[in-house]
Amino acid sequence: MNDRNLVRGLFIMTIALVFGLGSLRYSIGQFSRAGPGLFPLMVSCLLFLIGLISVVRSHYVARLPLNFNLKNIAIILASLCGFALFSQHLNVTAGILFMVFCSSFAATTYSVARNLKVAAGLMAVALALHKLLGLNLPLI
């Protein structure tokens, strides 16, 4: 299964199936009076076909290994979601602090002093965006 071409084909087919099966929940209608499900169903069928061709093709080309490192993407996504969550329930200042301190775990080095400086700089930028451009950021 560690074949990038094969996984790519299967991934494309999965997306096609998700949207294709989802579109069956809506009215298909007729070509002359298409329902909301017709167009996504047609596109999904075409996408499924492309995925199938990719899977078949993967048997005839050289295998390429897959290279996933989920640690960094997980840290980045946690930082983004944390920023949104803290900004919603507390304020943007807390959101910035969380994002900087959390995302820095993905960097090659970790420094609390550096994080504090970056967070202070970003808070200043957020304040400038709020005051000068009228961006409606919940700062406090």
Partner 1 sequence: MEALHNLAFGFEQALTIQNLLFCAVGCVVGTFVGLLPGLGPLATISLLLPLTYSIPTQGALIMLAGIYYGAQYGDSVSAITMKIPHASSIVACIDGYQMTLKGKTGLALFTAGVSSFIGGTVAIVVLTFLAPMLGEVAFLFGPADYCALMLVGFVCVSFVTTGSLLNGMAMCLIGVLLGQIGTDVNSGVPRFTMDLPFLAEGVGLVSIALGCFGIAEITKNLDDRNERTPFNGKIKLMPTWAEFKRIIPSALRGSVVGSFMGILPGGGPVIAQFGAYAIDKKFSKYRDEIGSGAIEGVAGQAAADEAAARTSFIPLMSIGIPENAVMALMLAAFIVKGIQPGPNMIATHPDLFWGLVASMWIGNVFLLVLNVPLVRYWLSVFKIPYAVLFPSILFFCCVGTFSINNNLDDIYITAVFGFIGYLFMRLDLDAAPLMLGFILGPMLEENFRRALLLSRGGFATFVTRPISGTLIGLICIFVVWQVAAFFLQQRRKAAAPGIVVGEF
Binding to partner 1 by residue 113, rule CB under 8 A? no
122 Cβ contact list (under 8 Å, min separation 6) = 96, 100
Out of 24, 120, 124, 125, the residue judged to bind partner 1 by CB under 8 A: 125
Nearest to 14 by CA among 41, 52, 43: 52
Q: Smallest gap, in angstroms, from Cβ of residue 101 to partner 1? A: 9
Q: Extract the tokens encoding 48.
A: 């499924």
Report the greatest alpha carbon distance in the chain.
66
Query: Which string of x and - marks every residue 27-66 that binds partner 1 (by CB under 8 A)?
Result: x--xxxxxxxxxxx--xx-xx--xx-xx--x---x--x-x
Out of 2, 63, 72, 128, the residue judged to bind partner 1 by CB under 8 A: 72
